[in-house]
Chains A and B, each alone.
Chain A
Amino acid sequence: MLVLRVLRSGPLHGYAIAQRIRALSDSVLEAEEGSLYPTLQRMLVEGWVTAEAGVSETGRRVRFYTLTSDGARQLEREIADYQQATAAIQAILRTA
């Protein structure tokens, strides 16, 4: 969900995605950054993102990932699911 959310603002390469997630979450979510790549592969299979070759700021050949319309729909769904779940949890926390 986070990857899709980050890609909503435009095509990014892997490192940039990891940077954004780190920055946006204030370094709270610190996972192994490489695990991003299997996730990206899965999104490619599902057709949520597409990849195009490009050149990074440091001059390396890297792929830029772009959100597709399928991916955008998926993001909407996941956000809705998440909000529903958190709302439910909050409701329980309030009443308990």
Chain B
Amino acid sequence: MNKFLRRLSALVHRRSLERQLEEDMAAHREMMPPDRRRNFGNPLRFQEEAADQWGWTWIDQLRQDLAYAARQFRRSPGFTLTAIAVLSLGIGVNLAEAYIFNAFLHRLDVRDVDSLVHFSRVTRQDGTRSAFSLPEIDFYRRNNTVLSAVLVESDVRDVHGQDSTDLRCPLVSGNYFTELGITPLYGRLLDEHDDRPGAPPVAVLGYDFWQNRFGGDPSIVLRTIRLNERPVQVVGIAPLRFGGLGVHADLWMTNAQYAYLTADPETGITGWADRRSSMFGRLKPGITLGAAQAQFRSLTDELHQQQPQYVAANAWLKLDPVNGSDLPTRPADLLLLGTFILLVLLVLFSACANLGNMLLARGLARQREIEIRLAVGAGRRRIIRQLMTENLLLAVLASVAALAVGKLAALLVWRIAAIPSHLRIITDWRVLAACAGLGLAATLGFGFAPALQIVKGGPRATRARKILVSVQVAASCVLLILSTFFIRAVQHSFHTIVAYDYSHMALVDPSFYLHPYAASESRRLAGEIAARLRQLPGVEAAAVVNFPPVLRARLARNPRAQFVVAEADPAYFDTVRLPLVEGRVFAPADPDPVVISESAARKLWPGQSPLGKSLVLAQQSRTVVGVVKDSGMNLIDDPESVEAYLPVSDQYVRFAVVVVRTAKRPSQLSAAIQSAASLPGVHPLVATFQGLIDQRFEGIRKMIRIIASLAAVATLLALIGIFGLLAFTVAQRTREIGVRMALGARAGDIVGIVLGQYLLPFGSGALAGMAVAAAAATVMRQLVYGMLPFDVLSFGSGLLLFAAVALIASIAPVHRALRIDPASALRYE
């Protein structure tokens, strides 16, 4: 330790130490008798050896190397700029990923986030669930001694505003905002008074919703808006930095307002069985997660004694820190995330390979310089170190540029994916560390092999170049194939599977469940709306259906298959143009009839007619009266699912929706449909099927755009790489080509000379790319959208696209090779 301090002080006082040593030696020589002075030796050498003892010579050498590298770069600005551009693209996209992960992992900007925990219940039957009922949460809140506060956030679906858009309005406990230390941007936030029964209905708006819907107008505070057709007073606006604890909210209300907001008599929020709330807690200081978990385990046992029908005997509570709870934990998600990270890394590989090739080419041009330096006594290690210093300088410059590129790319992704604005792209130490790490890895990746190669020289350099170019080909092939694969899958497959004529259909949702209507009332009103819509010019047919595809789903499990169940009018099949294959549709007199889809018939009774067979569905035995074609709509979610249709039941008639088929595009008619379907007190939502489907595909569309931009970057890199390689080949072999032309070689032969040696690396690169793309597509296909077929065509078109790029890249160099003038080529150099 002392030794290190002495060395450090020597570094600081380097200059004066050198001077003292010089003086010592001068004095020594003066004191020596003149005849023996030659015996002293070379003072300069001793000075250097002495300096070596302190162990700081490398700093001087590094400075020399850096100065030399800077001079080299100034001498060839074209190379330097290209290299920095290529590398900063490669590092930049990876950094963008780091920016995005960082934003998601540290999305919560609330008071003392480290002491916040999120609860989930683990049981043998259901696995891990994070929904609790309010009485349960109340029990835990009253009986625990380890939490200083319990926060509740109930994510209630089916809240809509005046202009009939779905809103995310979590209902929270009264202590929610105070406990999280959130201060309002305008007005006030919710407090304990708002969460008492009978409190006036008030809401706090989220920043994004306030900006997008009310144009950021602060005067909205204290005004009344309508939610689910009920007046609600806005009391405040949440700040930008807070978007919600568990779910991203458009606005917040308190749990006490549930009954006011929804008049649905059958689903509540206050019963033991109504598990609709997320539970969060703040650990008291000094309480460990383990201790808290132990207490909640015994509390859960106690609760099981009290409420055995609601709390299972083996249930226990799992506590997770809120910070970082967004990290995927399911192996499937991890696999998907890993695949995505690898795809992004491919761009960096490609950039490194590209740069490695450029450096090799440059190294060959510098062969003479290196040879001279070796000849005058520079060690190989010293030269490699000097070349690596150049690479490091390049990587540092590129990393700095990559910070900008990465931030820009991340912001672009933010725009594409419409990420809520409280998730912010911030350059913090984590991103800087990622940047430094990537830069260092890139330096080693692109620089070491070329440096070694340059010093050794010889024919192996060409092989290295071929390997590097095949890496680039592979990387850009992977990304091109994947993006064509996804684009094609989304654009084409959906059209081919779906039997519906959905482009001419609209859904009218009167949301009866928001009103305290009896079943017969709902049924009557739905029938009336359908009848009125049939009268509307331009409407060809209308029918009532519960759980229409895409909008809502009801699943019923049967031992042999999972059914997607819809309840429909007999007119429904004709309205959506779903042809009957066998039998008939429901008749009013049928006792418990069911119509099943073709795939259901095949699955349950292969090779037999299902008509008249009985089928147990939703705890009831039913008779199959007809078979219709598969609608295909539900395959988006589950490729194994089969369909069944029941008559509209009293139990679910409050979810009734009217399906309308129009002659023209339904979007032109939606205003007329809206007004025709409006009844006193009922303001239905009108949505086109196309719009719903587009919404459903929004996620995958965003993913495609991101993968496609990655592919574009990788392809750009490959373009530069191939161009550079061929141009270099032409330049290097100008003389040879000239001689061959003089000897009568034709254009085809010349093209063969330029391209021939690269056919193998291109081919093997494309092959490797196809293999990786196939693997990645398999992973993504299984996990994201089971419906995507595995088509050869997209692989072919991806490769074709790459071939086109390679062709473009080779035009200029080949052209140049063909125009070589034999006479001047022989004088070349």
B46 partner, pick from A13, A38, A46, A63, beta carbons under 8 A: A38
A33 touches B49 (CB 8 A): no
Residue contact B3 to A47, C-beta cutoff 8 Å: yes
Count residues on chain B whose CB falls below 8 Å from chain A CBs: 31
A26 beta carbon closer than 8 Å to chain B: no
Which chain B residues border A13 with CB–CB below 8 Å? 24, 27
Q: Give A6-44 interface residues, CB cut-off 8 Å to B.
A: 13-15, 18, 30, 32-35, 37-38, 40-42, 44
Residues from chain B with Cβ under 8 Å of A46 in the complex: 3
Q: Mark out the residues of chain B between 1 and 60 whose CB falls within 8 Å of any chain A CB in the assembled complex.
A: 2-3, 6-7, 10, 20-21, 23-28, 30-32, 39-43, 45-47, 49-55
With a cutoff of 8 Å between Cβ atoms, the chain B residues found around residue A61 in the complex are: 23, 27
* Most chain B Cβ neighbours within 10 Å, of A13, A37, A40, A62: A37
Complex Cα–Cα for A73 and B489 (A) = 80
Whole-angstrom CA separation of A37 from B52 in the bound complex: 12
Q: A13 CA to B31 CA in the complex, in Å?
A: 11
Contact call B55/A45, Cβ cutoff below 8 A:
yes
A94 interface hit (Cβ, 8 Å):
no
Name the residue on B nearest A32 (C-beta): B41
Q: How far is the CA of A55 from the CA of B40 in the complex (A)?
A: 21
A residues less than 8 Å from B23 (CB atoms):
60-62
CB distance from B13 to the nearest CB of A (A): 12
Establish whether residues B3 and A34, one from each chain, have CB atoms under 8 Å apart when the complex forms.
no
Residues of B within 8 A of A33 (CB): 28, 32, 39-41
- A47–B9 CA distance with the chains assembled, in angstroms: 13
- Shortest CB-to-CB span from A37 to chain B, Å, is 5
- Report which of B32, B50, B54 forms a contact with A37, defined as CB distance below 8 A: B50
Q: Quick one: which of B31, B46, B54 contacts A35, CB cutoff 8 A?
A: B46
- The answer on a CB contact under 8 Å between A14 and B27 is yes
In the complex, how many angstroms separate the beta carbon of A58 from the nearest chain B beta carbon? Answer: 6
CB of A56 within 8 A of chain B? Answer: yes
Give bound CA distance, A63 to B50, whole Å: 15
Q: Give chain B nearest CB distance to A12 CB in angstroms.
A: 12
Near B by CB (< 8 A), chain A positions 55-70 give 56-58, 60-63
Asked whether, in the complex, the Cβ of A60 is within 8 Å of the Cβ of B27, the reply is yes
Q: What is the distance, in angstroms, from A51's C-beta to the closest C-beta of chain B? A: 8
Q: Do residues A30 and B39 form an inter-chain contact, with CB atoms below 8 A?
A: yes
**For B6, what are the chain A residues with a Cβ–Cβ distance below 8 Å?**
44-45, 47
A55 CB to closest chain B CB, in angstroms?
A: 10
Output the residue of A32, A38, A61 with the most chain B CB within 10 A. A38
Nearest A residue (CB) for B43: A34
- Known interface pairs A37-B50, A38-B53; A62-B42 also in contact (CB < 8 Å): no
Binding site for A on B (CB under 8 A): 2-3, 6-7, 10, 20-21, 23-28, 30-32, 39-43, 45-47, 49-55
Apart from the given pairs A14-B25, A34-B42, A56-B27, 6 other A-B contacts in the complex at a CB distance below 8 Å: A14-B24, A15-B31, A37-B49, A38-B46, A41-B49, A41-B53
Instruction: Give 14 pairs: A residue, B residue, CB < 8 Å, sorted on A.
Output: A18-B28, A32-B41, A33-B32, A34-B25, A40-B50, A41-B50, A41-B51, A41-B53, A46-B3, A58-B27, A60-B26, A61-B27, A62-B27, A63-B24
